[in-house]
Amino acid sequence: MFDNLSEKLDKALHVLKGHGQITEINVAETLKEVRRALLDADVNFKIAKEFTNTVKEKALGQDVLTALQPGQLMVKLVKDELTALMGGDVEGINLSGDPSVILMSGLQGSGKTTFSGKLASYLKTKKTKKPLLVACDVYRPAAVDQLLVVGEQIGVEVFSDRGNTDPVAISKAGIAYAKANGHNVVIIDTAGRLAVDEEMMNEIANIHKAIQPQETLFVVDAMTGQDAVNTAKAFNDILNFDGVILTKLDGDTRGGAAISIKSVVNKPIKFIGTGEKMDAIDVFYPARMAERILG
Ligand code: GDP
């Protein structure tokens, strides 16, 4: 479905080689292809433009014009820049608390509940932790049931309080329960709405203030493309979150949202979701994502 960018760049620069020296104009032509690839991958237009301007400066500075294999050098430069833009090193989760409290935020349907389960399972197996899941969606009884099903599947206890309509009280009670029962990680799943609204923002801000989590994660559906950026900005303005979880990367999106979000909120993407099953979780690797985005 997608054309291969490396091939395109090589082709563009190859033709030029026939004419002797590669010029600044040719580099600009090549960067147009890069920009097109980024836009195809759903990267925000302004960000794609800024990115190609940066690459252009570096390309001219790094003697791409006189290199023996300018096409390859250009591709490497683009990939390295994209990787750096998305975060460089792999970022972990802060587990220094006792218990460590992780607050999940995001819109309804973004994959919060699913990811809460995946993370609990991941921490349990990979890091030998004893997590507790806390159900704080007081609006949808089905959401509590969903978390209970997830907990059952992965063998992780779920704390819920169905009669209670105060998510702050439930999260505090959940943390107290964790302390009393030897859970060293508490994952708090919160309610989301279909779009950003004041009530939801106030609610999550209140929970955040009351429990002061070690880690606040923002979950976003990679398929939502450019909308993901606005949502990320709205949540970050309120929560100053620690990291992003990009879900549904098993879909046919190239994942340009990863670049756009990182550029706008400057927070690391920590994990990705790659399916509905509980083991479909992966640490975010910027270099792999750069490959995917460029095709
Ligand atoms: P929440 O409303 O934010 O808690 O979202 P859910 O966890 O209920 O997820 C919404 C839907 O997306 C469910 O049908 C999930 O199975 C699905 N889902 C969540 N994460 C992924 C993912 O990484 N890949 C795919 N394909 N589906 C996902």
At 155, the amino acid letter reads: G
| 250 is known to lie in a ligand binding site | yes
Indicate the range of 75-84, 171-180, 230-239 predicted with least confidence: 75-84
Q: Where are the alpha helices (DSSP H) in 87-239?
A: 112-126, 141-154, 167-180, 198-211, 227-239
Which of 272, 273, 231, 281 is closest to 87 using CA atoms?
A: 272
Query: How far is it between the farthest Cα atoms of the chain?
Result: 77
Residue 88 has pLDDT above 90, yes or no: no
Q: Closest by alpha carbon to 32, among 15, 13, 49, 11?
A: 49
Percent of the chain with pLDDT over 90: 56
Rounded Cα distance, 64 and 77, in Å: 9
Is 90 exceeded by the pLDDT of residue 252? no
Q: For the chain, how big is the Rg over CA atoms in Å?
A: 22
Whether 223 lines ligand 1, by a CB cut-off of 6 Å, is no
Choice from 114, 150, 188 to test ligand 1 binding pocket (greatest atom count within 8 A of CB): 114
190 marked as binding residue: yes
Q: Kindly give the distance from the C-alpha atom of residue 221 to the centroid of ligand 1, in angstroms, as a whole number.
A: 8
Q: What is the pLDDT of residues 130-177, one digit of tens each?
A: 999 999 999 988 999 999 999 999 999 999 999 899 999 999 999 999
ipTM for the predicted complex: 0.99
The phi, psi pair for 103, rounded to 5°, reads: -100, 125
From 134, 188, 276, give the residue whose CB has the most ligand 1 atoms within 8 Å, as the site to mutate: 276
pLDDT computed for residue 277 by the predictor: 97
Q: What is the pLDDT of residue 95?
A: 93
Reported as type and span, the H/E element at residue 70 is helix 70-85
Confidence check: pLDDT of 78 > 90: no
Place of tokens 């030897």: 182
Give pLDDT tens digits for 15-46: 544 444 556 777 787 888 888 888 888 888 88
**Residue of minimum CA distance from atom 9 in ligand 1:** 111
54 marked ligand binding residue = no
Looking at the predicted structure, is the pLDDT value of residue 10 above 70? Answer: no
Q: How far apart are CA 168 and CA 68, in angstroms?
A: 62
Among positive and negative, which fits the CA dihedral 19, 22, 28, 33? positive
112 lines ligand 1 (CB under 6 A): yes
Following DSSP, what letter does each residue of 252-291 receive, concatenated?
A: S---THHHHHHHHH---EEEEE-SSSTT-EEE--HHHHHH
The pLDDT, as a whole number, for residue 41 is 83
Beta bridge pairs of residue 217: 104, 243
pTM across the whole model: 0.91
Given a cut of 90, whether residue 85 has pLDDT beyond it is: no
Structure confidence at residue 68 (pLDDT): 62
Residue 112 assigned to a binding site: yes
Other C-beta atoms lying within 10 Å of the C-beta of residue 83: 17
